[in-house]
Amino acid sequence: MSSGGSLPNTQQDASGNGVRNRRRLGPPEDTGPTLEESLRDAEHRGLDFPAAERAAYVRAMVARTGELKRAGRSLEEIRQLLPEFARDYQHLFEMVTASEGYDATHLNMMLTMLDRMGQGNLTHHQATVIVGDRTMKKFVRPSNKEGASSS
């Protein structure tokens, strides 16, 4: 190191010691599409496969996972037997293989929305709004069955 020179990527603090430059303040530069462009693209982009087929696939995989669990298969064995489901639907796979179980009624409601999308009875946006509303009512603002006093 030469005397009097500064270290790369450093600046001096108040005491004259070299300190690494900090990350630039402010929001990161965004060179990607705007939110409006992304939403417009999502509306027009075809999904991997039709909604009704996705719903049927998920139902079949959830049923198969249940069969394997009841047969005493380990999580790793189930993952090896159903690798595409475990990979492509990771959160759903984790949910249905969890030891405490899952809310099958809520999952069936979401799959019904996929069916209705596949039949052309609902748009993706409409189904998303319905699922979001029902999820909020069920988990965020459940009715108070505990008998809390109301004024």
The model scores a pTM over 0.75: no
Burial class of residue 131, CB neighbours in 10 A (0-12, 13-18, 19+): middle
Q: If you average pLDDT over residues 25-52, what whole number do you get?
A: 60
Write out the two tokens for 33: 């599409």
> Chain-wide mean pLDDT for the chain?
76
- Report the C-alpha gap between 98 and 137 in whole angstroms: 24
The reported pLDDT for the residue numbered 148 is: 45
Q: Which residue has the higher pLDDT, 137 or 79?
A: 79
Q: Which residue has the higher pLDDT, 132 or 19?
A: 132
Write out the two tokens for 58: 């998920």
